[in-house]
Amino acid sequence: MRLLNVQTRRLEWFNSSSDVTYAILSHVWDREEILYEDIIRDDSASMQKKHGFAKFANACKLAARQGHQYLWNDTCCIDKSSSAELSEAINSMFRYYEDSLVCFAYLEDVLGPSLDSFPKSKWFTRSWTLQETVAPTRVEFYDRDWNYLGSKEHLAPTIASITLIDEDVLLQSARGTDALNDKSIAKRMSWAANRQATREEDVAYSLLGIFDVSMPLLYGEGIIKAFNRLQIEIMKDSPDMSILAWTRESTTNQSGVLAVHPGDFRGAANVIPIPRLQEPFAVTNNVIGTPVA
């Protein structure tokens, strides 16, 4: 993985996220972000003219102030011109956030110190920020002017109310539990039901870490195929039949045993894991089967 040295503002390569300590940024992409190409060109004058420079610079300053030498930022630490690197990064992203010492959640549309606008932040509506909420042990929330709003632990009841993510899942890393994997597949899908992504396939790809699965990225395949592949990968490893506990809400004419969008699980927030079968689902050539006694 690449990390940004917050002192030199240069990128450095590490073989694993467990080989180094770092802070990580969570945010909603905006216009004119500081990209990988900007860092490589090392043109400070051009970078400072971009709208996203202030966010980039303030994240670096905050990391340095807390004693962190490195920062991971998805805008500039991934060479998105390389499909192989992008695929590896997305499949590893949950772990990147999980291994970070602290995650800075920057809410550009919130102006503190009041938390009145906190629940309305766009940050809570994006597909990628679901795993960025769950994975890190420590998340610190900052408003538009980088004023500290509180930590995930401190704000857990509020965040749970906004996102419908169970509070024990939000606090699992701090408590040393594995509450995430104790939740049903259907419940976890329901957390993503109202979230959106700029690229439709990312609605599915952003859930890879939530279910601890990996798969190739095929941008252009569309959300239905991407979400179908995601569910098949989940079913290969999990015998939890709650993955079938969905109700078609989308307007598509698609039919079949699998849902076509996380929105189909909108009503599944209270679904518990279906009693396990002796063996996981069998998936062969996209045909789904279950063991027969």
Query: Do 94 and 140 sit in the same domain of this protein?
Result: yes
Question: What integer is the mean pLDDT of 240-260?
Answer: 85
pLDDT at 174 (0 to 100): 72
d(CA 197, CA 274): 30
Which ranges constitute the DSSP H helices of 42-127?
Answer: 44-48, 53-65, 83-99
Query: Do 150 and 201 sit in the same domain of this protein?
Result: no
Query: Do 149 and 14 sit in the same domain of this protein?
Result: yes
The answer to whether residue 190 sits within a structural domain is: no
Domain end: 182, 205, 227, which one? 182
The domain tally of the chain equals: 2
Dihedrals φ, ψ of 32, to 5°?
Answer: 55, 55
Domain end: 182, 212, 227, which one? 182
Low-confidence winner among 23-37, 200-214, 246-260, 262-276 (lowest mean pLDDT): 246-260
Question: What integer is the mean pLDDT of 274-280?
Answer: 67
pLDDT at 112 (0 to 100): 83
The answer to whether residue 203 sits within a structural domain is: yes
Residue 44: what residue type? S
| First vs last C-alpha separation in the chain | 46
Question: What integer is the mean pLDDT of 24-32?
Answer: 97
The answer to whether residue 191 sits within a structural domain is: no
Query: Do 201 and 178 sit in the same domain of this protein?
Result: no
Tally of CB atoms within 10 A around 149: 18
Biggest CA pair distance of the chain: 69
Query: Do 208 and 154 sit in the same domain of this protein?
Result: no
d(CA 39, CA 74): 13
The answer to whether residue 187 sits within a structural domain is: no
Query: Do 91 and 228 sit in the same domain of this protein?
Result: no
% residues pLDDT > 70 (the chain): 91
pLDDT at 175 (0 to 100): 81
Query: Do 140 and 41 sit in the same domain of this protein?
Result: yes
pLDDT, tens digit, for every residue of 115-166?
999 999 999 999 999 999 999 999 999 999 999 999 999 999 999 999 999 9
d(CA 12, CA 127): 28
Query: Do 80 and 165 sit in the same domain of this protein?
Result: yes
The answer to whether residue 62 sits within a structural domain is: yes
d(CA 267, CA 157): 21
What's the whole-number average pLDDT of the chain? 93
Domain end: 182, 213, 247, which one? 182
The answer to whether residue 226 sits within a structural domain is: yes
Tokens of 225: 């195929």
Question: What integer is the mean pLDDT of 22-50?
Answer: 95
What's the burial of 251, exposed, middle or buried (CB within 10 Å: 0-12/13-18/19+)? exposed
Query: Do 2 and 77 sit in the same domain of this protein?
Result: yes
In 3D space, the residue among 178, 172, 186, 166 whose CA is nearest the CA of residue 264 turns out to be: 186
Model confidence at 283: pLDDT above 70: no
The answer to whether residue 2 sits within a structural domain is: yes
pLDDT, tens digit, for every residue of 176-207?
789 999 999 999 999 999 999 999 999 999 99
Query: Do 148 and 248 sit in the same domain of this protein?
Result: no
Query: Do 14 and 137 sit in the same domain of this protein?
Result: yes
d(CA 22, CA 136): 12
Model confidence at 275: pLDDT above 80: no
Q: Which domain holds residue 47?
A: 1-182
Query: Do 144 and 72 sit in the same domain of this protein?
Result: yes
The answer to whether residue 188 sits within a structural domain is: no
